Amino acid sequence: MALDVVKVIEVFKVAPAPSTSPTATISGDYLPLTFFDALWLRFPPIQFLFFNEIKDLSLSVFSDDILPKLKHALSLTLQYYPPLAGNLTWHPLTGKPAIRFATDDDGIHLTVAESAADFHSLSTDDIKEAKDMHSLLSSDFHVSQNQATVISLQVTLFPGSGFSIGYTAHHAALDGKSAAMFIKSWANVCHVGSLPPELTPVLERSLINDPLDICTIFTDKWKKMPPEGTFHLMEMKPDPGLLRGTFRLSRQQIGQIKSKISGHVSSFTAVCSYIWTCLVKAEEGDITNENVFLIINMDCRARLEPPIPSNYIGNCVALRAAKTKVVSLEGGDGLVTAAAAIKEAVGSLPQGVVKGAENWLSEAASTFAGQKTYGIGGSPWFELFGADFGWGRPAKVEMVSIDKAGAFSLCDARDEEGGIEIGIVFNKHKIEAFKSIFHERLQDIGNYLRF
């Protein structure tokens, strides 16, 4: 899809609606970052696309009905999330990174565009060019030496077919769970006009204990990386010619994979083990390392001492690394080997989580440098297909940012409870190989269990 098929119509700045009863107690005009946030200070942003199908959608209906509702609901939602309308910057007193808000200039940039591309080609599970998604994301995501955008949005009309919502969020402000919660909050306000308790955010940063001042340790390490002392993000440019595809596992198929693995494993472990082995097989011969890693983001809200609310907004994830030999994943017992490595990695998270956290950044830099690693983006537990803005469940959800991160994405299935959608980005040769391996192995597992 050429960039000229997307035409920007207008750019709005949507500010939080005036509120006489704030839902969160935040002192001052700055929301400090925690060490969980500072860990991601210079990582690329989180990017999602939501495709909403509306047959015969006209420009007038879009402009007069849909867009005003989206804007108004966004403004109301920001009453609950006021810092997200601000900017990341350096706190003038502490010198630490913080989100500055509560100024007259606050607001989220909302780009409105129109696309001449084929809506159904972009929102299909079929293999398509990865770069075609990027013109559906706002270009008003700015990062400079002393300031960075927290969130930018783009709503793109596809006349006669529907519209998309592109979402870009700074990773130091939100983890995947928080990003999903904000989108679902916006959708809920747009659809029903209010938020249930589980979508009402908790913003209180004092919930995260940091007696060792790990936030400063992480911030100082980032400041020393070139360009020094800035908010500039790490360059992670996707390779040219990348293709994107969606692969589905039904609840039944996930059960079959679990049955093939000896011992009790969770659906998450089973699915990640299966995808990990398929990825390695698809790259057979191209991986020159002896070992291969799978990076797992673990939600720590319930693992802290004491636990914090599940609707806490910010970052609260720890990185765990599953490691095994490439040759072990390529063999017949690869699925069992992968599951064992994942279970060991997940089980290695210390009680209370914070123990040893001061070394997370330095350990990651030394462990993964030059190594073959895969990551996992998103989660089926985010329930992104629940983001109904009032025009039905999304026809498609894509995690765009995986094409820069070398990760695969996990999402709940649109049409089946308990199913999972997997997003994969590879070059043409490897994605075709992955597709073949993915389906052949599923058939083999089914045959194995049948006899």
For the annotated catalytic residues, the residue numbers are 171, 388
Tell me: pLDDT of 197 over 80. Answer: yes
Alpha-carbon span 49 to 29, nearest angstrom: 31
pLDDT digits (tens, 9 = 90+) for 35-83: 999 999 999 999 999 999 999 999 999 999 999 999 999 999 999 999 9
Q: What topology is assigned to 243-450 in CATH? A: Chloramphenicol Acetyltransferase (3.30.559)
Give the closest residue to 45 by CA, choosing from 143, 177, 182: 143
pLDDT digits (tens, 9 = 90+) for 87-133: 999 999 999 999 999 888 899 999 999 999 999 999 999 999 999 99
Q: Hey, what amino acid is at 37?
A: D
pLDDT digits (tens, 9 = 90+) for 237-290: 778 899 999 999 999 999 999 999 977 899 999 999 999 999 999 998 899 999
pTM across the whole model: 0.95
Write down the domain spans for the chain.
Answer: 3-224, 243-450
pLDDT digits (tens, 9 = 90+) for 129-153: 999 999 999 999 999 989 999 999 9
**Domain boundaries 3-224, corresponding CATH code:** 3.30.559.10
Question: Contact 267/275 with Cβ under 8 angstroms?
Answer: no
Neighbours of 286 (CB within 10 A): 10
Tell me 350's DSSP state: P
Q: Do the first three CATH levels of 3-224 and 243-450 match, i.e. the same topology?
A: yes
Q: Tokens 């609901």 sit at which residue?
A: 73
User: Quick one: tokens of 421?
Assistant: 């959608």
